[in-house]
Chain A
């Protein structure tokens, strides 16, 4: 609302401000504004509580520990193959995306300046914004069909890595940028070779930040469905380590496929899988927070 032009002096003598408003109106505006902001905080928090409550409330009553040790059958069973499959996929993404992401983050922080660096940085950020189903579809057309890999671990890993590399690369870059220049200059002055100075000095100082980004990428790899449906396929047998021609099961598939199944055994499995997914993600987030707070405490001491 546009305020009117300042009025005459008489406003002030009547106890009104320059805009002719009584003194309580500004205080009321402040209370109203902050009240709405607090309401917004509650609106943000409420769905999360409801999601967690909903998942736990559905999964706990039907929870059996045998879910962890039995493979999926046609009408129920357990989640052993999906849990192991998710772990294999996450480990693979951790290695592949970790390798590519950290190295490209190093390049962006240490060597890439000017327009070329900006282009690479922008490409990486935009890649993270490409919808995951588009990545999954391209993975299907290119890797599963054109390369004849069929539904396979390799297709899944490459597709998921394309999705997660930008997170690791971004985290690595900003962690390296926070390492003081004097560290690098000290290493140079001692005559250290670039590779050694990088691995012994700068990377060491940036390790907590890099690890945090890596954990975020792992959490995403755990939770993604769309890029996997048409690259990893699904399998009821335990994961083999064959890179191609062997579909692999994973937890998100169970939730996506079984939640509206006519069999109660399968419905229960989808709730269990959702619970396990949420627990894994929470553990990864808490771990990354712990790393941040522990290393911050260290730096304060030094």
Chain B
């Protein structure tokens, strides 16, 4: 039905740039819809990360629930790792199917995760603060640029390559030349005797902690650097006018100015160290079921245990080991979620600097 009356001449062509996508036709409602299109479509995609986060926690909880029920609160204080009998008939306790004589404890893995991360932080935080101070306050621009590039490359090197380096190069050198010196000369008193013991061949707590330290330096150093750059110029100039030298300005004005932010940066590094998987799995020695008695002993972390045990867990016909690993993953997810949120709140308190995500830089 195309009846054209003489007064219905086609409108003159519009300047293409002012024509909304899809033309100017349609009802006002449709036009409004077209104008809203980018906002709606991008809004839906922007919801995806939040949805993914909720889905992760929900899936883990759904999978882990029977394990949580059977393992109970004792899970956090037990040190056992007994997959149970695969030959005997599975048993049902409280509605949860599991192999006979099964018993898992989380204490060794939680302790291993915390200990290796604390070693990493103890090494990485001072080094990162020193680097950030030198880069922002002292070094010439060109060297600062090179240092930034170095940090970026360290953040980009795959963790499996760090694992290879730790297992084949760094660990053996550490065990041969460095660890014996500490192990021999530490006095045999409580606390310090943690540093004594058989140094082994370089797979263990110390190697893992130091490899982790290398890996979290980029995120801590880059965040600290950006925080230090955000310190306003006036207080620094005021301090200089009072006769402070550049070290005193850095130490007594810049650092205190961003102290809470630096704590946040450290917690960000902690979150990364807690979750690092592959590199730790390659240098930890993979000992399950014992809390490491000294600095050099093999151990494992939650993440390393998940990646190494899942293969074998699939042989558990009752699926109980897979569920227990889901409980571990849930614990790890909750811990890293909390540390990340805390870190971000701390840094935001100090400066509105753009925070690095994930690995940093």
Contacts and interface: CB of A to CB of B under 8 A. Distances in A.
Interface of A: 26-27, 29-30, 33-34, 36-41, 43-45, 47-48, 50-51, 54-55, 58, 99-100, 103-104, 106-108, 110-112, 119-120, 122-138, 140-142, 162-163, 165-167, 169-170, 174, 190-196, 198, 200, 216, 219-220, 222-226, 229-230, 252, 255-256, 259-260, 270-271, 274, 277-278, 281-282, 284-285, 289
Interface string B39-71: 101110111111011011001100100000000
B212 to A, nearest CB: 12
Nearest to A104: B46
Contact of A224 (B45, B60, B152, B158): B158
Interface of B: 17-21, 34-39, 41-43, 45-50, 52-53, 55-56, 59-60, 63, 126-131, 133-135, 138-139, 147, 149-154, 156-165, 167-170, 214, 217, 221, 245-248, 250-251, 268, 271-272, 274-278, 282, 303, 306-307, 310, 322, 325-326, 329, 332-333, 336-337, 339-341, 344, 354-355, 357-359
A96 to B, nearest CB: 11
22 contacts: A30-B246, A33-B247, A41-B130, A51-B161, A103-B42, A107-B45, A129-B271, A133-B303, A133-B306, A134-B306, A137-B326, A138-B55, A162-B49, A162-B52, A193-B20, A194-B36, A194-B38, A194-B39, A196-B21, A255-B161, A281-B158, A289-B152
Nearest to A253: B160
A7 B307 CA distance: 62
Main secondary structure of the interface of A (DSSP, over half): helix
Contact of B329 (A40, A134, A162, A289): A134
Contacts of B326: 137, 141
B59 A223 contact: no
A136 B281 CA distance: 15
Contacts of A282: 153, 156
A190 B329 contact: no
A131 B333 contact: yes
Contacts of B359: 220
Contact of B340 (A38, A126, A134): A126
Given A107-B45, A170-B357, A259-B164, A48 B150 contact: yes
A133 B46 CA distance: 23
B156 A285 contact: yes
Nearest to B211: A47
A131 B344 contact: no
A277 B52 CA distance: 28
Contacts of A259: 164, 167-168, 282
B18 A192 contact: yes
Nearest to A112: B46
Contact of A192 (B17, B63, B134, B310): B17
Nearest to B130: A40
Contacts of B56: 130, 134-135, 138
Contact of A50 (B17, B160, B170, B282): B170
B297 to A, nearest CB: 19
B185 to A, nearest CB: 22
B161 A229 contact: no
B280 to A, nearest CB: 10
B50 A120 contact: yes
Contacts of A106: 38, 42
B302 to A, nearest CB: 9
